[in-house]
Amino acid sequence: MNNKKYVYAFGGKTAEGKADMKNLLGGKGANLAEMCLLGLPVPAGLTITTECCTDYYDNQCKLPSSLMDEVWAAMKKVETAMGMKYGDSKNPLLMSCRSGARSSMPGMMDTVLNIGLCSETIDGLIKKTNNPRFVYDSYRRLIMMYADVVMEKSEGIEPKDGKGIRKVLDDMLDEYKKQKGYKSDTDLSADDLKLLSEQFKKTIKKVLGSEFPDNAVQQLEGGIKAVFKSWNGKKAISYRRIEGIPDDWGTAVNVQAMVFGNMGDDSATGVAFTRNPATGENVFYGEWLVNAQGEDVVAGIRTPNPLNDDTKNEQNKNLPSLAEIMPKIYKELCDIRNTLEKNYKDMLDIEFTIQEKKLYMLQCRVGKRTGVAAVTMALDMLKEKMIDEKEVIMRVSGEQLEEFLHPILDAANEKSHKVIAKGLPAGPGGTVGVLTLSNEGAMELAKKNIDCILVREETNPEDVEGMRAASGILTARGGMTSHAALVARGWGKCCIVGCDALHIGDKTITIDGKTYNEGDTFSLNGTKGLVYATAVKTMKASESTLYNDFMRLVEKYRTMGVRTNADTPADAQQALDFGAEGIGLFRIEHMFYGENSEEPLRILRNMILSKDNVEARRRYLDALKPHIMNSVRATMEVMDGRPVTFRLIDPPLHEFMPKKEEDIQAAAVQLGITVEDVKKRADEIEEVNPMMGLRGVRLGILYPEITEIQYEALFEATARLINSGKKPHLEIMIPLTITVKELKHQKAICDIIHAQVEKEFNVKIPYTYGTMIEVPRATIVADEIASVADFFSFGTNDLTQMTFGFSRDDVNAIINEYKSTNILKHDPFQTIDVEGVGKLVEMGVIKGRKQKRKLKIGVCGEHGGDPESVKFFYKTGMNYVSCSPFRVPIARLAAAQAAIESDRKE
Amino acid sequence: MNNKKYVYAFGGKTAEGKADMKNLLGGKGANLAEMCLLGLPVPAGLTITTECCTDYYDNQCKLPSSLMDEVWAAMKKVETAMGMKYGDSKNPLLMSCRSGARSSMPGMMDTVLNIGLCSETIDGLIKKTNNPRFVYDSYRRLIMMYADVVMEKSEGIEPKDGKGIRKVLDDMLDEYKKQKGYKSDTDLSADDLKLLSEQFKKTIKKVLGSEFPDNAVQQLEGGIKAVFKSWNGKKAISYRRIEGIPDDWGTAVNVQAMVFGNMGDDSATGVAFTRNPATGENVFYGEWLVNAQGEDVVAGIRTPNPLNDDTKNEQNKNLPSLAEIMPKIYKELCDIRNTLEKNYKDMLDIEFTIQEKKLYMLQCRVGKRTGVAAVTMALDMLKEKMIDEKEVIMRVSGEQLEEFLHPILDAANEKSHKVIAKGLPAGPGGTVGVLTLSNEGAMELAKKNIDCILVREETNPEDVEGMRAASGILTARGGMTSHAALVARGWGKCCIVGCDALHIGDKTITIDGKTYNEGDTFSLNGTKGLVYATAVKTMKASESTLYNDFMRLVEKYRTMGVRTNADTPADAQQALDFGAEGIGLFRIEHMFYGENSEEPLRILRNMILSKDNVEARRRYLDALKPHIMNSVRATMEVMDGRPVTFRLIDPPLHEFMPKKEEDIQAAAVQLGITVEDVKKRADEIEEVNPMMGLRGVRLGILYPEITEIQYEALFEATARLINSGKKPHLEIMIPLTITVKELKHQKAICDIIHAQVEKEFNVKIPYTYGTMIEVPRATIVADEIASVADFFSFGTNDLTQMTFGFSRDDVNAIINEYKSTNILKHDPFQTIDVEGVGKLVEMGVIKGRKQKRKLKIGVCGEHGGDPESVKFFYKTGMNYVSCSPFRVPIARLAAAQAAIESDRKE
């Protein structure tokens, strides 16, 4: 039929696979093979490829016809390596069937153990082990697992009473123990277990209408199918959605000889990390249990013993370590640790079992670690000459680096608290504070130095002061690019948005039917989107030497510039501290939000409400100018010598309209018109689709005086700075351009004002004039636009909105559904859509540079702080990315990684 | 400096230019040269090129340094040809300076006549003509014109009292006549005129502070500059905006020897058309005046005489014709008519002057004509073997053809009525009816068979019944693609939108301070956007043989298909009558608007308001199915055998929410919830930018049951038709696709329903499955999309919205401003933006066809009915365009013209 090789055998210090065959054999299978090749003691087995899984699904969930022949051929090798025979009545071999995807999906798929136990083999095994209780216990476990995983879930046999078979059998077991007066499973004797096994089989026949297969051959095939089937189980699918693992990767199946850590006190099982995964310290770190199986360690019923002295802590310090009890085996394990690290050049997470004093390696993989550990290990391994500088940089993810930038919840302590709700992880870090539902409340608490969490349905610009005062923000609605998320991320503030379970009342909130009051203490994990109604411990990964050593290396390899989006001196300073090289986006309109914005906002409002009265408008604009100038000057001063890109006012005017009754009344008084007139005028500038209405450069063309006043403020601020001995580096940026003619129109005004101010201040004012590229049309006519623009800055937020037809205010539910049905891989507002939006970006870059070879090009959308997107921008040849201050280090790291990756490819 | 030839001389049966040099010499100059080459009597002169105009503007309004030398060299030739000498004291030649752009801009630029009259030449001219009155009259005319056009307007000398110099001099003339007791200019004697001329010159010195140049050389240069300057006069610019003439075309200047039709009763002047421009009849048609100058004919102060018997009408039948009074000259003119038509192969508009029995040709150009005349002439000229079939088709514009499709205002009668307001010409044709401000009013009047005009602030789907009942629609707001405009154009109903001057009260409207009541009679010219408060006569250009003969030729050359956008059997039938070959867009949601939509709309509303209650939603959908099915079936039956593309429900759901209190109450009762709950649920589905929110295929993915019910209705309707012996041709179209995965998702549902219905009705149901391409991203990934889609239909409305970031509901004012500042050439919603949106369309076509060579591709946006856009779509290789029924003949014509044009280019 086809010539694909589906099965790779391993065992006896040899293997058909190896570590770099992860895509085909899954992580587990590839590493089992590698360990065999390294001569480590691995129970023999075989790996069925991920390709086979894909073929299985493409073929209406049927195994390829050639598969089982290959399996049985490989089983011969396994039998030889283990010196046992599968299904044999005298020396029977038992097998396990486990999943193993390319990327670890712990606990998400099904496993069947003890396969091969049946009437034919039970007696042989009893004779061989001389342990009937062990054999019957294994048998009843197989029956229970098989009925559930293979028969019910995989083969889809529906239980008659609607209750799952697993539950039925569990109940029987409990009932039996109750009748017998047993307290624990260990009280069950071999006879008890034998009897139960027979009863189980009868019940299965009754409930499922089908026999438990008393046949080793059939069992193995059923086990393999069950693992494949579980790739599309509900749990597995939703895990893949969250982790961004493609459905078509498929899982491999590892069929491996069983070894038992539960065959008495000379047996054991354990897990270990070759270095401390929490701190990165170079010590062997692990836990183990005597006379136990793997799942007992993970399940956490018994407190595991420490591996060695380095692993001892408050909980386990009185339990004997493996080093103490089985020093020979511990020594063997230490040698294995060294062999593995030398081979993989990384920290590994291993699983082992000791069966009657013999050590078996069951798993090894690159271990997960905290950010601090990642950086520590990478730098240590550099010193140990295990890896080079480039590899150090590649070893740390943006997410891991982020840990250094915010206070976080103490992970160990967090585990002991109950998550009461989940939302989107919009602002990173962790925080603990008392609930407040109003901006005023937040500000009052802040004055008293009480940390608080501001809870809102969603936020808007009027909430900015409350948001700043709060130590964390929690909203019921909104997506990753909602107002709350954008603002919080900009500030590096802990924030969870779109928390559906949250219902907000007057002074209380309700989650899952439970009511909480203002003043109650909550904790937020903004990195993961978890909400606690209790006080979790927090910790601070401070600005350590570690961080600085690492960033020094990053800087050595970074070539693309990193700027920040900042609109205040404080944000600018924060970004400088984080290594920003300039400001890529200063939004002039941001001076109308937040602190000290009352007066300028009032003037702006009156200007807008002056309608067709050009004189009045001009009067208000004149009054506005000093505010803009001061705001501009203060930030430029902080950035002295570094470029600052000022974007002219962009949003639709109605965003600035008064919403509160008192503000409306104030405006009416100031303008000398009625409250009704204010409302009417505000209504008149409402738009059906404001995102695609009167905003950006369009404002400046319909109301040139709005442009003029901004130019005046920018040039005057620059002139004053120059005259006071500073080195301001002014860049003026026009938003929402769709044709070069808009740019020319606004440039003509600019030229006039520029000449005026130069004359007035008697100083040369150098500046560059550029534009946002954020509307699809601009990317198409980028060549023409480049004839006038000195620089481009891609606004990939808006470009994504218009390229997808996705209003980011509205499509949260759509994007979630699209991700969960696999229509979209990522939220395109988080990670740039390379195939669609990316193509337009590339077109814009190519066309722009064709017109002007040295055109400076950057990006200032939210994507500028997303590592994957930054790498894409690097590839397109951008000069810089710009992102919120707290993303600057992450962007710097991503830029360095992009440079290294591209170097490696060449 | 440069080697450009700026001046082209003509006269004496020879010329340096010719007819096909229009771009360089302007229409007038090129045709003057051509007439010379044809041996016709043309006063000699020279043409300064349009290129010179462009250089003049590029050079800060300075004439190129080489120009005047060239002019004087050419003037030598003019003098030779005319046997006179410019500036000569004995035999002086007088010149005129007139503009002449590529495309006619009648009356929009300035002219200076009688140039060359000064102290030096006056006496010589008096001696030569023996007519001092004529000479002084010419002199005072020159002074008045020159002071105004050259000194004030062109040289920019500001009059001291703020009143224009022309007005000052006019007032002086009037005052003089008053003092003398004269009634008419003709009462002024030579002495009067001499005295006045001297007074004028003094006044000019006083008011403008500058002397009238008593110097022939200076006068000529001044005249040339003035014409160039007037290219950028206010009138000229706004005319160019309206006509879409580019600013950089520039105007030529024609400097031509003066001839005089006002030198006595053997002198005359006239205008004529080589055929009747109103009817197309092959008769010489014109008017003339004895002893008069050209402007007297145009000015309409005296009733002009008929050219011949064919030109006699009620007004002029008693005046002698030229044929009667000057038979010899009439004969000469008739010969010229034949020469010209033979040469130009078209109907010409000519101007002539007779000076002392000598005929001079002053102008000839292709004549404007009505639609009926255009078709008549083209078909006649085909019979006369003057032009071929292809040329016949090229001779008629879409606008001209449109005259055949609607009742129109009688142009002759329309002139005598006063335009009280202007708006955008949204729906073509003309109508007369009584005002009504409500839908109910319109419906009541319609019942009584009284034509009425529905006046609204703007319209929305709830107005559809009133709109249908009215014979015309007038709105104060909205653009060319507003709801009112789209609906009206779809129906071919007369409609004017965005009529700013209109203020709507309770039962009255106010325009320009004047109030009109319901019941008052108004007339609308929907083709031009003119509003009358009186009853203008209407006429009907019926479905004549003429029209049918012409369309038969069109069909012979058309290759691209033409379909219609239609959602009712009536529209479908109308479109079939107009030659549609199928339906390219049947919008399922349109069954919820308009007549008989109450019940289905109510069900749809309840479905939407059922929110998360899937069962309730499904129940309402089931109730909806028969409505959809009946609607689908009725239209398919009309289109039997022809393709019908059904687009699944597209708009955001809140469009269907009840707005009227009574509808809200009804919904509350039906759903068993409170009025507040209804409002709250309606609010919940409101979106910030609905155009980019939950609509199109997104609805079908979030609520698959909405898709299912539509598939069921479509397949069942088709099955029933097949079973009743019909040949339904079903095409299913998914709106708003951005990735092929959406299409696959919806196709999976389609496959299931298709199989179900085939089984249920025991019949094979053929169909094709395609998608709209209307979001920028779809054009970029069109290759992937084509792997699933059988066809593409470009939705260029939405594609334009998103490519520009233009919400068509909001950007009317922006587009107007952009057009008037020349930032945009066209409204991109009327004519496709070839450089931007067009590039995406091309990309989509190329990528789609690369994937599937024979992919069927069409367009179903409003652009499908715009001739220029249709030609673009032809070039991209589309299979068809689809447009509203009343645009079908225009699209057919444009398609034929596109085929012919592309043929000619090859």
Write down how long chain B is: 906
pLDDT score of B544 more than 70: no
Rounded to whole angstroms, the Cα distance separating A307 from A319 reads 10
pLDDT tens for B366-413 read 988 878 889 999 999 999 999 999 999 999 999 889 878 878 888 778
pLDDT class of A301 with cuts at 50, 70, 90: low
A32 contact partners, CB below 8 Å, separation of at least 6? A10, A15, A17, A42, A45, A47, A254, A256, A363
Kindly determine whether residue B840 and residue A745, on different chains, have CB atoms separated by under 8 Å. no
Distance from CA of B824 to the nearest CA of A (A): 8
CA-nearest residue to A782 within chain B is B836
B631 contact partners, CB below 8 Å, separation of at least 6? B567, B568, B588, B591
Rounded to whole angstroms, the Cα distance separating B359 from B329 reads 7
Mutation for testing the A interface, residue in B457, B650, B689, B701 having most A CBs under 10 Å: B689
Kindly determine whether residue A813 and residue B837, on different chains, have CB atoms separated by under 8 Å. no
- Which residues of B are known catalytic residues? 483, 860
Distance from CA of A401 to the nearest CA of B (A): 33
Rounded to whole angstroms, the Cα distance separating A847 from A842 reads 8
pLDDT score of A355 more than 80: yes
Helix segments in A83-151, DSSP class H: 119-129, 132-145
Taking the mean position of all CA atoms in its chain, how far away is CA B255? 32
Dihedrals phi, psi of B563, to nearest 5 degrees? -115, 180
Distance from CA of A690 to the nearest CA of B (A): 7
Distance from CA of B850 to the nearest CA of A (A): 17
CA-nearest residue to A698 within chain B is B814
Closest CB from B692, B817, B835 relative to A801: B692
Mean pLDDT of A242-270: 90
CA-nearest residue to A798 within chain B is B805
CA-nearest residue to B655 within chain A is A688
pLDDT number for residue A671: 84
pLDDT tens for B582-609 read 999 999 998 888 667 888 888 998 898 8
Dihedrals phi, psi of B271, to nearest 5 degrees? -130, 150
**Residue B736: its chain A contacts at CB < 8 A?**
805
CB A554 within 8 A of CB A393: yes
Average per-residue pLDDT for chain B? 91
Token pair recorded at residue A536: 């979790």
pLDDT number for residue A542: 47
Dihedrals phi, psi of B435, to nearest 5 degrees? -70, 140
Mutation for testing the B interface, residue in A737, A746, A780 having most B CBs under 10 Å: A780
Rounded to whole angstroms, the Cα distance separating B117 from B92 reads 8
Q: Report the sign of the C-alpha dihedral through residues A823, A825, A831, A833, in that order.
A: negative
CA-nearest residue to A744 within chain B is B823
Kindly determine whether residue B777 and residue A738, on different chains, have CB atoms separated by under 8 Å. no
CB B41 within 8 A of CB B257: no
pLDDT score of B1 more than 90: no
pLDDT class of A300 with cuts at 50, 70, 90: low
Closest CB from B687, B736, B839 relative to A805: B736
pLDDT tens for B829-883 read 999 999 999 999 999 999 999 999 999 999 998 899 999 999 999 999 999 999 9
pLDDT class of B432 with cuts at 50, 70, 90: very high
Distance from CA of B483 to the nearest CA of A (A): 13
Mean pLDDT of A145-157: 90
CB A520 within 8 A of CB A508: no
The percentage of chain B sitting over the pLDDT mark of 90, rounded to a whole number, equals: 70
Rounded to whole angstroms, the Cα distance separating B256 from B581 reads 55
Token pair recorded at residue B817: 């401003």
pLDDT tens for A509-529 read 999 999 999 999 999 998 788
Closest CB from B738, B801, B817 relative to A692: B801
Mean pLDDT of A476-494: 75
CB atoms within 10 A of CB B686: 13
pLDDT number for residue B653: 86
pLDDT class of B539 with cuts at 50, 70, 90: confident
Helix segments in B187-252, DSSP class H: 190-208, 216-230, 234-243
CA-based nearest residue to B770, from B585, B582, B575: B585
pLDDT number for residue A314: 65
pLDDT number for residue B542: 47
Kindly determine whether residue B823 and residue A702, on different chains, have CB atoms separated by under 8 Å. no
CA-based nearest residue to A67, from A55, A78, A77: A55
pLDDT class of B449 with cuts at 50, 70, 90: confident
Kindly determine whether residue A776 and residue B840, on different chains, have CB atoms separated by under 8 Å. yes
Closest CB from A738, A817, A836 relative to B780: A836
CA-nearest residue to A817 within chain B is B702
Type of residue at A48: I
CB atoms within 10 A of CB A199: 16
Kindly determine whether residue B692 and residue A687, on different chains, have CB atoms separated by under 8 Å. no
CB A728 within 8 A of CB A636: yes
Kindly determine whether residue B809 and residue A689, on different chains, have CB atoms separated by under 8 Å. yes
CB A76 within 8 A of CB A238: no
CA-based nearest residue to B134, from B324, B282, B267: B267
CA distances, A137 to each of A112, A134, A205, B246 (Å): 15, 5, 20, 92
pLDDT score of B581 more than 90: yes
- Which residues of A are known catalytic residues? 483, 860
pLDDT score of A370 more than 80: no
Kindly determine whether residue B694 and residue A813, on different chains, have CB atoms separated by under 8 Å. yes
The percentage of chain A sitting over the pLDDT mark of 90, rounded to a whole number, equals: 70
CB B496 within 8 A of CB B473: yes
- Which ipTM score applies to this complex? 0.81
Type of residue at A859: V
Rounded to whole angstroms, the Cα distance separating A872 from A898 reads 8
CB atoms within 10 A of CB B645: 25
pLDDT score of B773 more than 70: yes
pLDDT score of B301 more than 70: no
CA distances, A832 to each of A398, A804, B655 (Å): 16, 12, 32
CA-based nearest residue to B743, from B771, B702, B768: B771
**Residue B839: its chain A contacts at CB < 8 A?**
780
Write down how long chain A is: 906
Kindly determine whether residue B802 and residue A806, on different chains, have CB atoms separated by under 8 Å. no
Rounded to whole angstroms, the Cα distance separating B241 from B298 reads 25
What angle in degrees, to the nearest 10, is found between the helix axes of A867-876 and A837-851? 30
CA-based nearest residue to B704, from B598, B621, B820: B621
- For chains A and B, count residue pairs whose Cβ atoms are closer than 8 Å: 168
Mutation for testing the A interface, residue in B688, B736, B815, B829 having most A CBs under 10 Å: B688
Token pair recorded at residue B207: 């008011």
Token pair recorded at residue A147: 């009925």
CA-nearest residue to A840 within chain B is B780
CA-nearest residue to A810 within chain B is B693
A589 contact partners, CB below 8 Å, separation of at least 6? A649, A650, A651, A656
Dihedrals phi, psi of A813, to nearest 5 degrees? -65, -35
Least confident span in A693-702, A717-726, B418-427, B803-812: B418-427
pLDDT number for residue A485: 79
Helices (H) then strands (E): counts for chain B:
35, 34
pLDDT tens for B793-817 read 999 999 999 999 999 888 988 998 9
Mean pLDDT of B612-632: 91
pLDDT tens for A218-230 read 999 999 999 999 9
Closest CB from A736, A803, A810 relative to B689: A810
Mean pLDDT of B156-165: 81
Mean pLDDT of B81-89: 95
pLDDT tens for A791-850 read 999 999 999 999 999 998 889 889 989 988 889 988 999 999 999 999 999 999 999 999
Type of residue at A603: I
Model pTM score: 0.82
pLDDT tens for B311-349 read 887 668 889 999 999 999 999 999 999 999 999 999 999
**Residue A817: its chain B contacts at CB < 8 A?**
701-702
pLDDT number for residue B543: 55
Least confident span in B13-17, B21-25, B175-179, B541-545: B541-545
Mutation for testing the B interface, residue in A247, A653, A654, A692 having most B CBs under 10 Å: A692
**Residue A776: its chain B contacts at CB < 8 A?**
776, 802-803, 805, 836, 840
Kindly determine whether residue B691 and residue A807, on different chains, have CB atoms separated by under 8 Å. yes
pLDDT tens for A440-463 read 999 999 888 899 999 998 888 778
Kindly determine whether residue A691 and residue B738, on different chains, have CB atoms separated by under 8 Å. no
Kindly determine whether residue A702 and residue B736, on different chains, have CB atoms separated by under 8 Å. no
pLDDT tens for B170-199 read 999 999 999 999 988 888 999 999 999 999
CB A517 within 8 A of CB A455: no
Rounded to whole angstroms, the Cα distance separating B95 from B75 reads 10
Q: Which of residues A505 and B452 earns the better pLDDT score?
A: B452
Least confident span in A197-201, A366-370, B471-475, B485-489: B485-489
Kindly determine whether residue A835 and residue B781, on different chains, have CB atoms separated by under 8 Å. yes
CB B151 within 8 A of CB B229: no
b/e A516-541 (16+ beta carbons within 10 angstroms → b) = bebeebbbbbbbebbbbbeebebeeb
CB B274 within 8 A of CB B337: yes
Closest CB from B738, B802, B839 relative to A780: B839
B7 contact partners, CB below 8 Å, separation of at least 6? B46, B47, B48, B49, B67, B70, B71, B73, B74
Kindly determine whether residue B693 and residue A817, on different chains, have CB atoms separated by under 8 Å. no
Beta-strand pair A430-436/A452-456: parallel
pLDDT number for residue A2: 59
Average per-residue pLDDT for chain A? 91
Kindly determine whether residue A839 and residue B692, on different chains, have CB atoms separated by under 8 Å. no
